[in-house]
Amino acid sequence: MTEKRNNDAFSSNFGMIAAAIGSAIGLGNLWRFPYLVGQNGGAAFIIVYLIITLLICTPILLAEMVIGRRGGGSPRDAYIKVTGCKGWGAAGILGMLTCFMIMSFYVVVGGWTIRYLVMSIAPGFHRGAVLDSGAIFGGFVSSSFSPIIYSLIFILLTIGIINLGVQKGIEKTSKLMMPLLFVLIVLIGIRSVTLPGAQAGLHYLFKPDFSQFTFDSLLAALGQSFFSLSLGACMMVTYGSYTPRTSNLAKNAAIITVSDTFFALLAGCAIMPAVFAFGINPSEGAGLVFVTLPQIFTQMPLGGLCAILFFVTLFLAAISSSVSLFEVMTATIMDVGKTRRRTASSICAAILLFTGSICSLSQGALRSITIGGKNIFDQFDYVSSNILMTLGGLLAVLCVGWVIKKKIFIDEITDGGNIPVSKPLASALFFVIKYLAPIVIITTAISSIF
């Protein structure tokens, strides 16, 4: 505990924002968002996504921050301290388990990004070597050995940052990587929108087609907003506890949401115009970035360079998110097991290597094992995104809205009156946290069962 108390804090407000944006921007923005837009009616999906993100999910993000900064320590500690009830510690443990589950498939995809980065740098990539990209991707992910090695490399890189601690590891790398990510995605976007025939992609993104938008799309938009903002898994509870007292939490929540959403839109602008310019069906699904894009890169001018830039972007986005997931697990194990950072992170890495390998093998050798019609990889994704994160988000808003109450909430977001937050805004945020968010979460959860 002593080590944690002494070292674990961000050195500045900017450090906190960079780390949180690092967590938010990830595979969710570059890999999931574009294909969900493709499958759910383009701009129709984007509009609904924006509304949900702004109105519902930003206040939930704020609720998590309040719990973390008010309580301090690991998520379990924080929940117990703010509620004064030991039972609430379970919400912190649930967050850790959710992170474990997300990480189990996240490290597999992280490993794929390293493999593709290596492939894009190797000679021959841009000369048509991956024209049969579907078969190459399928062959790689279904093999037993090499995807696990790449996942292991991804885990080791993550743990390297975690072991450096909050300031020297998480904060420093985030401050470097976040600006770089924006520059890279803008560069790729410029190449993409200047391809002949690119306008069709922009139309598709920004012209709503509500006929494609169904009730399932609404659920997908809420789920994506949760996933992209890293909600419901105690990420912000953990980072909140490292946040300086002088930070304006409501403003930070807005900055984080806007940056994450802006990046998702930039990713859409980098990917969709190129997809349309080459006449490919945009609703390709999960294979979009690993199958469709490599094919496009091999055919377009400057494609070799774009491929490298793209996979560097994907890798940086993935690792900064993976660091935040890993930190929730490490902080909780440090607290529960009273261990040092290195011991805790090694325990996490060992478990992850095991669960990650199972997820990886479920794409090949263990494909025949299915739970509820899904392989293990998909089931981990489904259960964590659709059940555990939703439950975690619900617990966070119930905790702030119904247990710790408005006075403490306002005290925390204004730092006891030192930070000016207008009364109507504070009340509106609290109203969403207390009533609207729980209602939306519970209604969507119930309706997704039927």
Residue 24 or 269: the one with the smaller Cβ distance to ligand TRP is 24
Only segment of 156-164, 320-328, 404-412, 419-427 that touches ligand TRP (CB under 6 A)? 320-328
CB of 405 to ligand TRP, least distance (A): 26
Selection from 223, 293, 231, 256 nearest residue 32 by Cα: 223
CB of 300 to ligand TRP, least distance (A): 26
- Torsion angle, alpha carbons of 329, 241, 445, 317, to 10: -60
Examine residue 58 and tell whether it contacts ligand TRP (CB under 6 A). no
Q: Are the C-beta atoms of residues 230 and 29 closer than 8 Å to each other?
A: no
CA angle 15, 19, 22 (to 5 degrees): 140
Render 281-347 in DSSP notation, one character per residue. Answer: -TT--TTIIIIIHHHHHHHSTTHHHHHHHHHHHHHHHHHHHHHHHHHHHHHHHHHHTT--HHHHHHH
Examine residue 26 and tell whether it contacts ligand TRP (CB under 6 A). yes
- Number of amino acids touching ligand TRP (CB under 6 A): 16
Examine residue 320 and tell whether it contacts ligand TRP (CB under 6 A). no
Rounded CA separation 252/78 (Å):
20
Tokens standing for residue 150: 């790449």
Residue type, 245: R
Tokens standing for residue 240: 């909140």
Examine residue 233 and tell whether it contacts ligand TRP (CB under 6 A). yes
* Window 121 to 150, contacts with ligand TRP (CB under 6 A): none
Pattern 68-107, ligand TRP, x by CB under 6 A? ----------------------------------x-----
Examine residue 307 and tell whether it contacts ligand TRP (CB under 6 A). no
Residue 306 or 389: the one with the smaller Cβ distance to ligand TRP is 389
Examine residue 24 and tell whether it contacts ligand TRP (CB under 6 A). yes
Examine residue 325 and tell whether it contacts ligand TRP (CB under 6 A). yes
CB of 263 to ligand TRP, least distance (A): 9
Name the CA radius of gyration of the chain, rounded.
Answer: 21
Examine residue 174 and tell whether it contacts ligand TRP (CB under 6 A). no
Out of 94, 141, 188, 235, point to the residue binding ligand TRP (CB under 6 A).
235
Residue 188 or 323: the one with the smaller Cβ distance to ligand TRP is 323
Only segment of 156-164, 225-233, 240-248, 428-436 that touches ligand TRP (CB under 6 A)? 225-233
CA angle 434, 439, 440 (to 5 degrees): 115
Residue 27 or 404: the one with the smaller Cβ distance to ligand TRP is 27
Selection from 377, 344, 375 nearest residue 148 by Cα: 377
CB of 381 to ligand TRP, least distance (A): 11
Residue 78 or 195: the one with the smaller Cβ distance to ligand TRP is 78
Examine residue 28 and tell whether it contacts ligand TRP (CB under 6 A). yes
CA angle 217, 222, 228 (to 5 degrees): 115
Examine residue 324 and tell whether it contacts ligand TRP (CB under 6 A). yes
Out of 58, 120, 217, 228, point to the residue binding ligand TRP (CB under 6 A).
228
Out of 23, 241, 295, 390, point to the residue binding ligand TRP (CB under 6 A).
23
Tokens standing for residue 78: 């924080």
CB of 83 to ligand TRP, least distance (A): 21
Rounded CA separation 247/241 (Å):
12
Only segment of 18-26, 39-47, 347-355, 404-412 that touches ligand TRP (CB under 6 A)? 18-26
Reported for 173-177, long-range contacts at CB under 8 A and 24+ positions apart, including other chains, are 173/22, 173/320, 173/323, 174/15, 174/18, 174/19, 174/21, 174/22, 174/320, 174/323, 175/14, 175/15, 175/18, 177/22, 177/316, 177/319, 177/320
Out of 15, 16, 29, 35, point to the residue binding ligand TRP (CB under 6 A).
29
Specify the 3-state DSSP secondary structure of 374.
strand
Examine residue 227 and tell whether it contacts ligand TRP (CB under 6 A). yes
Rounded CA separation 222/229 (Å):
11
Examine residue 321 and tell whether it contacts ligand TRP (CB under 6 A). yes
User: Which residues lie near ligand TRP (CB under 6 A)?
Assistant: 23-24, 26-29, 102, 227-228, 230, 233, 235, 321, 324-325, 389
